Amino acid sequence: MEHENIAVGLDIGTTKIVAMIGKKNEYGKVEILGIGKSKSLGVHRGVVNNITQTIQSIQQAVTDAETSSGLKIADVVVGIAGQHIRSLQHSDYITRADSDEVIDEADIDRLCNQVHKLVMLPGEEIIHVLPQDFKVDGQGEIKEPIGMYGGRLEANFHVVVGQVASIKNIGRCVKSSGLELSGITLEPLASANAVLSQEEKEAGVALIDIGGGTTDLAIFKDGIIRHTAVIPFGGNIITEDIKEGCSIIEKQAELLKVKFGSAWPGENRDNEIVSIPGLRGREPKEITLKNLSKIIHARVIEIVEQVYLEIKNYGHEDPKKKLIAGIVLTGGGAQLNHLKQLVEYITGMDTRIGYPNEHLAGDSDAETTSPLYATAVGLVMNSIESKEKLQNNDFVVTDEEVLEETSTLQESGEIQTQIQEKPKEKVKFFDKWAEKFKEFLDNAE
């Protein structure tokens, strides 16, 4: 088994940590070779709040993945989410020295790097700089400026910002678990890569990833990411409510939610009752499923309305920005019964459940294609992409790929220069970059 070609994604979530090993098969699809998961103990709402416990959980997930695949994991791409993530729109331009030369990758890099130097609030750092559309000498709506002539190149950017401390903590956990951190990616972007088709991204779609601690949103239109947001509520808060509302312990609340929960109270008859054993010789509790659904319903409406607010903020009502493909729900929370119907009812938008099988090999087992693993699959894909970039120094790239790749692989921990005629220079650039990133992590300790 070739060791070089494997890629690993590490999804550090609030409820679970997943390590996933994959590689590209000969048909260009992603084959999952091993998967390991552990209960996540040191993470709250997507942010690490207990380093020691998180390290233990990561190590357990990694060991599981190694055992199930028989491979050794060296480096990983990690997803970042949490309530500290925010995104903003920014436009910037560069004036080119020689307008008789055509615009090339280096110009776009210069422009992106300029955005990276933006001054953020104290304690914040730019995670991704995603170009939306370009203008050349004032001519707008250009998706791909490479190869055009022009003196002034400007672009609108979608900039994703996060807290330096949170990013460093994640880096610290990964390093202390004995792994190399080869990249950091925004989780909604990873999930989107795994579950959305190119057609949906073109038509306009909102991906809602309902995790344990956070709900992530990524909006695409005309094939480009337009808006991202992280909402600090997820499935755990529903469990909390059931626990409080029914006076039972968390484990029981979680089981009730998963086994009998529904987001639509009308479904249950009044006489459907589930009995829960009491603690330590106390009387068992009887809970009607109707009440259970009412509790879940109230909380889910709140989460969906917050997300819908973000979709409105993006400007969904504007005909030009209409999301024709509607909403795709993924993440563990998407498995809640009748959630699709409720979301359609609240937003009036077409909704489907997203399974991360868009780019997976046909024979992947059912477990891997569960919405639970959307982020992990996306991170593996991300890792494969960045590894391929390093290996192929001279290759041909289609227009839309450049846009997509440039967007996902900005300074999140990948390389900025994707295409260069001279392989030598490329390696040098990456080394320089890797040095910088290692230095950043070492200072973090």
Put simply, whether the predicted model's pTM sits higher than 0.85 gets the answer no
How many angstroms separate the CA atoms of 326 and 206, rounded?
6
pLDDT confidence tier of residue 31, bands split at 50, 70 and 90? very high
**What is the set of domains in the chain, with CATH numbers?**
199-354 (3.30.420.40)
- In this prediction, residue 296 carries a pLDDT of 95
pLDDT confidence tier of residue 262, bands split at 50, 70 and 90? very high
pLDDT in tens, 340-381: 999 999 999 999 999 998 889 888 888 889 999 999 999 999
pLDDT confidence tier of residue 281, bands split at 50, 70 and 90? confident
**Is the per-residue pLDDT at 435 higher than 80?**
no
Residue-by-residue DSSP string for 112-141: HHHHHT---STTEEEEEEEEEEEEETTEEE
Residue 140 DSSP symbol: E
**Is the per-residue pLDDT at 400 higher than 80?**
no
CA angle 245, 251, 255 (to 5 degrees): 80
Indicate the residue type of 414: E
In sequence order, the β-bridge partners of residue 91 are 156
CA angle 114, 116, 117 (to 5 degrees): 70
| End-to-end C-alpha distance for the chain, whole angstroms | 35
Picking from 98, 104, 128, the residue whose alpha carbon sits closest to that of residue 115 is 128
Give the mean pLDDT of 99-110: 91
Q: Is 147 left (phi over 0), alpha (psi -120 to 50) or beta?
A: left
